[in-house]
Amino acid sequence: MSCSDPAEAAVDPGAAKQLNAMLARFSASELVAWVLENGPAVHVLSSSFGAQAAVSLHLVSRLQADIRVILIDTGYLFPETYRFIDQLVELLSLNLKVYSAFPGPAWHEARHGSQWEQGVAGIEAYNHARKVAPMHRALAELGVGSWFAGLRRSQSRSRASIPFAQFSNGLWKWYPLADWTDVDVEHYLEDHGLPRHPLCAKGYVSIGDTHTTQPAQYGVDIENTRFFGLKRECGLHGRP
């Protein structure tokens, strides 16, 4: 049995562990190149176009220029985020695929009210309807076999155990930046002349929807800058 065979690792926990041990020896670029050659097609990259999104977008797209980049548009992103998306799509020539929930924001609120103000249950229902369900549709329609994402262990406690490779719900998820620190990210941005999200200059460290994102404040846990501190993850990436 080869530790470099994703098909075997998908059904054998020991092989999955060996696969992650092998990938840990690669640089992020080497990991992406290996997956593009050995990982099951179709390959996609998801991005929320958040604070440091330019890193994974540049890293992956320079190795496969036409890779499809999935954006889930909730209809509640910041105006700065929409402009940042346009900037990066032009700068990196991204093959962007936008998926949104039906119905639109106004209709959703007419039916359910402001779900993000209805406690944990309301936030989870909102996230599933406007984020998780559209992502599932995107993965199915595109026939995805390998999904790149830019999650890092240092981003939050809920991501501290993210592996480099994870088989979930019938497809492989790859996290080439899993072991990167904030310093690594900043160096990459500077080395490649890449822009940061404009809201970073206003103190935002994790950027999602307008109604559930707050700038960081001195003495306040940055985990509480999203979803009023009630949740950290939106559900697109479950804990490994």
* Peptide bond connecting 42 to the previous residue in cis, omega within 30 degrees of 0: yes
The Cα 71–Cα 97 span in angstroms is 6
Long-range contact set of residues 185-189: C-beta below 8 Å, sequence gap at least 24: 185/52, 185/55, 185/152, 188/55, 188/58, 188/59, 189/52, 189/54, 189/55
Closest CA to 176 of 157, 151, 204: 151
Distance, in Å, from the CA atom of 53 to the CA atom of 66, rounded to the nearest integer, reads: 17
Q: Which of 33-42, 213-222, 231-240 has the lowest mean pLDDT?
A: 231-240
Q: What is the model's pLDDT at position 12? A: 85
Is pLDDT above 60 for 238?
Answer: no
Structure confidence at residue 220 as a pLDDT band (50, 70, 90): low
Does residue 30 carry a pLDDT above 70? yes
The reply to whether the predicted model has a pTM over 0.85 is yes
Q: Where are the beta strands (DSSP E) in the chain?
A: 43-46, 68-73, 95-100, 146-148, 165-168, 171-174
What CATH number labels 27-229? 3.40.50.620
Average pLDDT, integer, range 62-90 = 98
Which of 185, 125, 162, 170 has its CA nearest to residue 237? 162
pLDDT greater than 90 at residue 230: no
Domain boundaries, the chain: 27-229
User: Bridge-partner residues for 168, per DSSP?
Assistant: 171
- Cα radius of gyration (the chain): 18
* Residues labelled as active-site residues: 234
pLDDT digit string, tens, across residues 158-201: 778 899 999 988 999 999 999 999 999 999 999 999 999 999 99
Distance CA 24, CA 52 (A): 22
Pairing of strands 146-148, 68-73: unpaired
